[in-house]
Homo-oligomer: A and B are copies of this chain.
Amino acid sequence: MSTTTPSDDIGTRLRLVRQIYGLTQRELARRAGVTNGAISLIEQNRVSPSISSLKKILDGIPLSLADFFTHNFSASDQVFFAAADLAEIAYGESISMRLVGGNLKKRALQMLQETYQPGADTGEEMLRHQGEECGIVVAGSLTVTVGAQEKTLHPGDAYYFRSDIPHRFRNPGPLPCHLISANSPPSF
């Protein structure tokens, strides 16, 4: 499924790593103290580098041998996500959530762009789950209840709480409310 490289295809793996780090063969060669030609040959799998060479090269990134062989580098470790590409997550009629990087696996963090229509409400049966979450209101206003506390937030206002504390979100205003939130660990 993922764009992982077989562990003996050192060349492809090195090229992928180098590109992920945004380095050219020459720049990496300079940092590593080897020649660009050597890196080129390795990346084409035309030679099998010595440990010492590979170590020098990885030091220039920098990346340990263990990490190099352990990690499943993926070209789809996407960094930028167009607004249109944010995965829509249904959450009732009047609440829309758009997930940043929905295709990423194993992430430690989740970010959502949420829209609460006027009157939208996550309900009286407060939400509770593992982890922590925070958010910032971008537009409109949002009434947030966390345990015994309640506050109506306006653009620029933010919240942060442990998610196991019962919480609730409502839009009391006449305008849609836009919110950027983050959870850890991810719940979707």
| Chain A residues near B (Cβ < 8 Å) | 7-8, 10, 47-55, 64-66, 68-70
Contact = CB atoms under 8 A, between A and B. Distances in A.
A7 B48 contact: no
A75 to B, nearest CB: 19
Contacts of A49: 50-51
Instruction: Please tell me how many copies of the chain the complex holds.
Output: 2
Contact of A48 (B10, B52, B64, B66): B52
Contacts of A64: 7, 69
Among A47, A49, A53, A66, the most chain B Cβ lie within 10 Å of the Cβ of A66
Contacts of A8: 51, 55, 65
A101 to B, nearest CB: 26
B52 A51 contact: no
Contacts of A70: 66, 69-70
A50 to B, nearest CB: 4
Contact of A50 (B7, B50, B66, B68): B50
B52 A7 contact: no
A83 B54 CA distance: 46
A110 to B, nearest CB: 28
A55 B69 CA distance: 12
A7 B62 CA distance: 14
